[in-house]
């Protein structure tokens, strides 16, 4: 899906949402379509952003499994296709791996989702950044695009690495443990998500009762709406003066 996004001023951009197939043969048609979109809409001269699930990693470090330790044909093919349409990764922060199988007993994570931009985008939005947020209900990380991410202010403390740390006898073991998927951590994340979901439903039910809105259903994430209605009712019912 491709659409034009109009912003205040003249800095409009074209956004293409993609969802690639798991099958390599079917992904080929996607790249043909993207190339056709680029040439038909003359996107090489416009601000172009592509976002979505490409269902393919670009480098072996984008897979959590130690067995994936070298480049394969599908990775090189993805790189070639991106080069052909002249796009590359937008600077990103947050989750390095954007997909998880949500299986604590055999956890697997990959970077399947990307925000891709062309050269014209970088010229007009030099401070833009993509933030891949923590997984919630989906097995994919949501992506938030900031067109003007503020730069660090003068005086911000830089990251410093103490040279004596690698001399510690446990240094390599600690680094190895941090880089490996941990079943205990995945299960803890799953338990915390379940607890957070429960608290969110309780909060929503509480504010629905205070708002006295009966035509919305619970479970539709209307908590903020209920809060606004409850606040409005409190303001309306408050006694500020007596005649």
Q: What is the pLDDT of residue 165?
A: 86
Most confidently predicted of 34-43, 149-158, 196-205: 34-43
Domain count for the chain, please give it: 2
Q: How far is CA 159 from CA 131, 151, 162, 163, in A?
A: 20, 15, 10, 13
Burial of 139 (0-12, 13-18, 19+ CB in 10 A): middle
Question: Model confidence at 215, in pLDDT bands (50, 70, 90)?
Answer: very low
**Residue 204 pLDDT level (bands cut at 50, 70, 90):** confident
User: Is 161 a domain residue?
Assistant: no
Contact present, 62 and 132 (Cβ < 8 Å): no
Residue 168 lies in a domain: no
- Statement to judge: residues 40 and 114 lie in one domain: yes
Residue 40 included in any domain = yes
Q: What is the pLDDT of residue 242?
A: 47
What is the structure's pLDDT at 155?
Answer: 64
Q: Give the CATH number, domain containing residue 81.
A: 3.60.10.10
Taken as a whole, the chain contains a residue count of 243
Output the pLDDT for position 11.
81
Lowest mean pLDDT among 79-88, 107-116, 201-210: 201-210
Residues 55-91: tens digit of each pLDDT = 998 888 889 888 888 888 888 888 888 888 888 898 9
Cβ proximity of 54 and 20 under 8 Å: yes
**Confidence band for 127, pLDDT divided at 50, 70 and 90:** confident
80 with 194, same domain? no
What is the pLDDT at residue 15?
94
Same domain, yes or no, for 123 and 195? no
Which among 98, 130, 146 is the end of a domain?
146
From 130, 146, 162, the end of a domain falls on: 146
The answer to whether residues 136 and 59 belong to one domain is yes
174 occurs within a structural domain: no
Share of the chain above pLDDT 90, in %: 13
Please state the φ and ψ torsions of residue 200, each to the nearest 5 degrees.
Answer: -65, -40
Which pairs from 72-78 meet CB under 8 Å and 24+ separation? Answer: 74/24, 77/24, 78/54
- Domain assignment present for 133: yes
Mean pLDDT is lowest, of 34-48, 85-99, 198-212, for 198-212
Same domain membership, residue 191 and residue 112: no
Backbone φ, ψ for residue 211 (5° rounding): -80, -20
DSSP string, 180-216: S--HHHHHHHHHHHHHHHHHHHHHHHHHHHHHT--SS
Domain-located, residue 153: no
- What is the pLDDT at residue 183? 73
Same domain, 85 and 192: no
Handedness of CA 25, 29, 30, 32 (dihedral sign): positive
Q: Is 57 inside a domain boundary? A: yes
Whether residues 227 and 142 share a domain: the answer is no
Over pLDDT 70: what percentage of the chain? 81
Tell me which residue has tokens 């006295």. 212
**Which pLDDT band, with edges at 50, 70 and 90, does 47 fall under?**
very high
Range scoring the smallest mean pLDDT among 38-47, 168-177, 183-192, 225-234: 225-234
Of 121, 146, 171, the residue that ends a domain is 146
Q: Which residue has the higher pLDDT, 65 or 213?
A: 65
Closest to 96 (Cα-Cα) out of 120, 55, 64, 119: 64
Q: Look at residue 148 in the predicted model and tell me its pLDDT.
A: 84
241 pLDDT more than 50: no
Asked whether residue 122 falls in the same domain as residue 208, the answer is no
Distance from C-alpha of 108 to C-alpha of 65, rounded to nearest angstrom = 7
Whole-number average pLDDT of the chain:
81
Q: Is 22 found in the same domain as 119? A: yes
Say yes or no: 98 and 23 in one domain.
yes
State yes or no: pLDDT of 157 exceeds 90: no
Looking at residue 156, its pLDDT comes to: 64
In a domain, 177, yes or no: no
Backbone angles phi, psi at 199, to 5 degrees: -65, -35
| 217 confidence band (pLDDT: 50, 70, 90) | low
Residues 126 and 217 in one domain: no
Q: Are residues 32 and 124 in the same domain?
A: yes
Residue-range definition of the domain harbouring residue 219: 182-237
């Amino acid at each position: 899906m491709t659409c034009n996004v109009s912003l205040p001023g003249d800095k409009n951009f074209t956004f293409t949402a993609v969802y690639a197939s798991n099958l390599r043969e079917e992904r080929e048609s996607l790249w043909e379509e993207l190339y056709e979109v680029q040439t038909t809409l003359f996107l090489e001269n416009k601000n172009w952003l592509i976002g979505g699930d490409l269902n393919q990693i670009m480098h072996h470090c984008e897979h959590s499994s130690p067995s994936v330790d070298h480049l394969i044909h599908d990775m090189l093919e993805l790189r070639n296709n991106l080069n052909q349409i002249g796009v590359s990764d937008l600077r990103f922060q947050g989750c390095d791996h954007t997909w998880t199988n949500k299986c604590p007993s055999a956890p697997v994570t990959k970077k399947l989702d990307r925000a891709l931009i062309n050269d014209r985008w970088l010229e007009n939005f030099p401070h833009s950044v993509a933030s891949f947020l923590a997984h919630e209900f989906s097995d994919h990380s949501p992506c938030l695009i900031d067109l003007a991410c503020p730069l660090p202010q003068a005086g911000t403390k830089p990251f410093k690495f103490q040279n004596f740390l690698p001399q510690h006898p446990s240094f390599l073991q600690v680094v190895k443990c941090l880089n490996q998927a941990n079943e205990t951590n995945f299960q803890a994340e799953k338990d915390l998500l379940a607890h957070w979901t429960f608290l969110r439903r309780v909060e929503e039910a509480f504010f629905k009762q205070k708002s006295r809105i009966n035509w919305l259903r619970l479970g539709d994430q209307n908590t903020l709406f209920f809060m606004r209605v409850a606040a409005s009712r409190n303001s309306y019912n408050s006694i500020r003066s007596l005649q």
